[in-house]
Each structure stands twice: as structure tokens, then as C-alpha cells.
Structure 1
Amino acid sequence: MKKGFLILLFFVTMTNLTVFSQVTFGVKGGLNMTDINSSTIHNYEKNNNGFFFGPTAKIALPLGFGIDGSLLYDQRSAKVETDIIPIPLYSTTIKQQQIVIPVNLRYGLGLSKLLEVYIFAGPQFGFNVGDKTVSTNYEDWDFKAAQLSVNIGAGATILNHLQVSANYNLACSESADQSIKDSVYPKILGNGKMNAWQISLGYFF
């Protein structure tokens, strides 16, 4: 219910702002390079590739400011390797799949009629649409139903249509609880956050 309400609110907000601002719609996609942060003692291989894609919109405001928002399918993965014994065990790939809604405030500077550079920052709301639990060789990752993160980055718009950007997505809430079912150990071992460096390419109609 909450997921559907936020998605509806996103589209209603974008539609209403067209009355007051110049709105441009498009599509975007890109790569995730996952940087996993865990509170447990295990080792993790970083910068595993993932991807995202979906519709996007940007709203022009006065004085070079603007707002952009997207509705994206986002997939991230990371290889987990446990060394508690302390011999490393087999690595396991965990995967997080979400529908994400980033909403960013941006400031752009036109260098010419063909090129604009900009910086942006803002919150991102994520909703899990993949597996609720992913098992590794030692523990389970129990993914949260919803997650809050923030974006900060920079980009460029070329010929008023093509947009390239790079940003870091920092998880503000836990992506998953890390638990073990063996009765000898506590059930909850800790938690993990799946941050990501992101590179994207978009086209506005």
C-alpha cells in the first residue's frame, strides 16, 4: 500500500508541476558498482556490477535550478566471502532488486547552447521486488521491504537531449539484516548496506 501510494504521489507531483514549470520527459539507464558496508566480521568483494533503467523527467526552475525524478528498476550484486574459521570459504553472490524513486535538486550552468553542466543531490526511495532472503555459505541476508538513500553527483546535458551523469548513492537505512539459523549463534548477526557508484546515460524527448 505504501509503495503504491509513493509511486502515485511521484506521478501526481510531476504532473502538477507542469502547470508552473517546463517539464521534459525521457528515459535513462546505467551501471551500478556496488560498495557493500557490513557490520559483521566477514570479507566482501566490492565494486560488483549491476544496472538500472526506467523513465525519467526533469523540471526547469528559475535561476538555473531544477528538479529531476525517475522511476527505475535497480539491480545490485556483491560477492560475499566468509573467513571466520579463518580459512576463506566459497564466495556467494547476493543480489538486491528494487524499484527506486530518486528525486534530486539540481543546479545547472550553460557553457554554450550545446552544453550544460550541473550538480545534483537528493533522496532516493527504494522498494524490494526481488528475493526477500538470500542465503550465503554462512548466513542469510534478509532484505528490507523499503530503503532510504541519498544521491550526490554531477553531469552534463549535450544538445538539450543527451544526458550523462555520475553519482554516489549512499544508503541511509539498512539494506538487509544478516542472520543465521543455527541455534548456537544469535539469530541476528548484524546488518548490511549496499551503496553504489553509478554512471548513467539518459535521453530526453
Structure 2
Amino acid sequence: MKKLICLFTILAFLGVANSMAQGLHFGLKAGVLGNKANVSGMRNQFKEESLTGFQVGPMLQYQTGLHGIALDFSLLYVQRGVKLTNTSNGRSTDIRTQSIDIPIELKWEMGISDDFDLFLGAGPSFSFLVDEDNWGRKLAHIAVDAIDKDLSSMGWRSTEVGLNLGGGVKIVKHLMVSCYYNIGLTQSAKHNIGGNKHDVIDQIFDGDVFESKNRYWQLSLAYVF
């Protein structure tokens, strides 16, 4: 009897595994994004502007078979940034980062025809910093001509968490075009200025704490095999 139960358990497990495998689809994803960082703690003459970046990497989609519900997982190399301009002297600088992002998305697909689906999606995105520009050094160069001092990198966070919201279309069951907006839930950078201000820093910051959160649009193209 025990052997029979074990046999049924194994067969049931293999059946579930096979069913899940049939719902798994690998793909490739690439796109552009426009980042509008939400920066606080800087003086009013410093303005932020969107800076175009990109993302690229593999993805995995799981079709649950339940009322059009699907799960997407991606592993993306991402470059994003922000352009800061000192309106008092017209100088500007681009501050960029490179990261590995892992967005996880719950999607609801609505079939319009055999070859055309609409979908809505939402889910968290986890970002792991791999390289960054030095905030302090670049800001100093738009405040004055140059200084002989290494300024702080302004506390880049090694990990960020955001929320993706959006949707798109799937064409002939393989090609996906999507547009999402990412809302930063944690800071991309934070630095306590405190009482250790330099003359140049006084020209840039207003208050004792500087922080930044990423907010960006993503326009992506993916092909699922």
C-alpha cells in the first residue's frame, strides 16, 4: 500500500512539473527608459531633467492557465541617470548608474483575437547597483569651475526597490510591446551633510540631508519563444 501511495505521489508530482514546464516560456527583452529622479535637499537653482537610459536581458514567462493570469521574471542590465542643471550659471551634468534589475510582474492578459492580446501588469522591481558616477564631484563642477578636493559620492544605495505599473500588447503570441512606470519605494542615494560642509557644498545643498529616488518610464520590446 505504501509503495502504491508513493507511486501515485511521484506520478502526481511529475504531472504537475510537466504542466508547469508547458507553461514556461523563455524570452529576450530590451527597451529604453526616461528617468526623472526625485531629488530633495538641493537649492532651488538646481533643476532635474529626464535622461534616456536603456535595459536589456533575458526573461521568463509562466502562463498559469487561470483566466489569463501570467507571471514574468526578468534579469536586466540597466543604465539610467538624471541631468542636473545649475540655472544660475547654465552649467549642467549627467549623473548615471549601471545596475542589475530583477522585475517580477503579475499580468492579466485579455485576448482580443487569436493573434492579439492586451495585458495589464504590476509588481516589484529589485535593483542592484554595479557602477555609479560620483554625485559630489559632478555637482561641484557645475557649482564652480573646479576644486582640488574629492567630495563624497553622496551615499549611493547598493539596493533599491520600486513598483512597476503598466501594460501593453502581445502580437502573434510571441512579440510583446509594453510601457511601464516605475515608482521608487526606497532611496537611490542618501547622504547626511551635517556640519561638515565645504564652501562648494554650501552652494549646492539646502539643509542637512540629501536624498534621491528614481522614477522612470520604460518602453520595452520582448520576444517570447
User: TM-score band, normalised by the shorter chain?
Assistant: 0.7 to 0.9
Cα separation, 1, equivalents of 2:169 and 2:222: 10
Residue-pair matches, total: 187
Q: CA deviation at 1:97?
A: 1.0
Q: CA deviation at 1:177?
A: 1.9
What amino acid does structure 2 have at the position aligned with 1:159?
V
What is the RMSD of the two structures over their aligned residues, measured on CA atoms? 2.4
Of 52, 55, 58, which aligns to 2:55? 52
TM-score (norm 1): 0.82
Of 67, 70, 81, which aligns to 2:71? 67
**Structure 1 segments unaligned to the other structure (5+ residues):** 1-15
Of 206, 209, 215, which aligns to 1:195? 215
Please give the residue correspondences for 1:122-137 in structure 2 after superposition, counting only pairs within 5 Å: 122-131=123-132, 133-134=134-135, 135-137=137-139
Whether the 8 Å contact between 1:34 and 1:50 is mirrored in structure 2 is yes
TM-score (norm 2): 0.75
Q: CA deviation at 1:194?
A: 1.7
Whether the 8 Å contact between 1:48 and 1:79 is mirrored in structure 2 is yes
- Identity, % of aligned pairs? 30
Please identify, of 166-175 and 124-133, the stretch whose mean Cα deviation from structure 2 is larger.
124-133
- Based on CA coordinates, which of the two structures has the bigger radius of gyration? 2
Aligned to 2:32: 31
SS at match of 2:131: coil
Aligned to 1:12: none
What amino acid does structure 2 have at the position aligned with 1:39?
S
Aligned to 2:6: none
Q: Which has the higher strand share?
A: 1
Shift in CA distance, 162/17, structure 1 to aligned 2, threshold 3 Å = farther
Q: Which has the higher helix share?
A: 2
Please give the residue correspondences for 1:13-28 in structure 2 after superposition, counting only pairs within 5 Å: 20=20, 22-28=23-29
Whether the 8 Å contact between 2:192 and 2:208 is mirrored in structure 1 is yes
SS at match of 1:142: coil
Q: CA deviation at 1:92?
A: 1.1
Whether the 8 Å contact between 2:50 and 2:83 is mirrored in structure 1 is no
Runs of 4+ off more than 6 Å: none
Q: CA deviation at 1:39?
A: 1.2
**Structure 2 segments unaligned to the other structure (5+ residues):** 1-15, 141-150
